[in-house]
Structure 1
Amino acid sequence: MHEMALCEGLVQSLMEQASSQDFSKVHRIWLEIGALATVEPEAMRFNFPIVARGTLAEEAVLEILPVDGHGWCMQCSTPVAVRAFGAGCPLCGGFQLQISDGQQMRIKQLEVS
């Protein structure tokens, strides 16, 4: 369950940002999670309150923004939607896809005071 470790990293990042940006409380976090990031959003939602307990993000609301996977099919030279690793091109069925988006997990926005 690596989502627990990801939540710990998220809280650590929030504490570092609080120190450098001079805020003391996080109210809301918008977190982008790509469809190809191998991160389970529900596990993040479950683990975040546990990890954030006793920190500046203890009462923060975690908003998860899904990001679709995108890639380039080298066989048909077309940008395509990619739903999962190992999936073929939805247009030609080819498996030579170069992933261009959807692998990230990043803080998109914070509401702080």
Structure 2
Amino acid sequence: MHELSIVRALLRQVGRVAGAHGGGPVRRVTVRLGPLSGVEPALLAQAFPKACAGTAAAGAELVIESVPVRVQCRACGHVDEAAPNRLRCPACGCAETVLVGGDELLLVSVDLEGRLNV
């Protein structure tokens, strides 16, 4: 399960953020996850507590915010949501689109004990 290595990398980033804000126990980690990120949300959630054991994030809550796939049409310029397996422009049907969202895995916020959203 590559989600475990992803969570470990995420926790390194969480540790840097927490350290920059005085450290302390991590209570919540919020991430933004797109369907084309290559990460399975359920497996990420399952790996999170295992990777957190023995760290400042032990017992922390993982919040996963899902984001839709978004494309921009090269022909008409329209930007809209699209199905992960159908990246055509919803407005004109053109197949020449540019992915502008839905492939991300972003650390949105880290809530530390006594502080919110750092």
| TM-score normalised by L of structure 2 | 0.84
Q: Which residue of 1 aligns with 2:41?
A: 41
Residue-by-residue CA offset, 1:9-55 (whole Å, 9 max, x unaligned): 01111122222221210001111112221211111000011111110
* Identity, % of aligned positions: 25
Shift of 1:85: 5.4
User: How many Å separate the matches in 2 of 1:90 and 1:79?
Assistant: 9
> Which residue matches 2:93?
93
The separation in 2 between residues aligned to 1:93 and 1:40, in whole angstroms, is: 29
Query: What is the aligned length?
Result: 113
Q: How much does 1:63 deviate?
A: 0.6
Alignment of 1:8-23 (within 5 A): 8-23=8-23
Conserved? CA contact 1:34–1:69, under 8 Å: yes
Unaligned runs of 5+ in 1: none
The Cα RMSD (Å) is 1.7
Structure with greater proportional strand content: 1
What is the match of residue 30 of structure 1?
A: 30
Deviation at 1:110, TM superposition (A): 1.8
Check whether the contact 1:26–1:57 (CA below 8 A) recurs between aligned residues: yes
Length-normalised TM-score, structure 1: 0.88
> For each residue in 1:56-82, what CA deviation from the matched residue of structure 2 results, as whole angstroms up to 9, or x when unmatched?
111000010011111111234321212
Moved over 6 A (4+): none
What CA distance in whole angstroms lies between the structure 1 residues aligned with 2:108 and 2:68? 15
Aligned to 2:74: 74
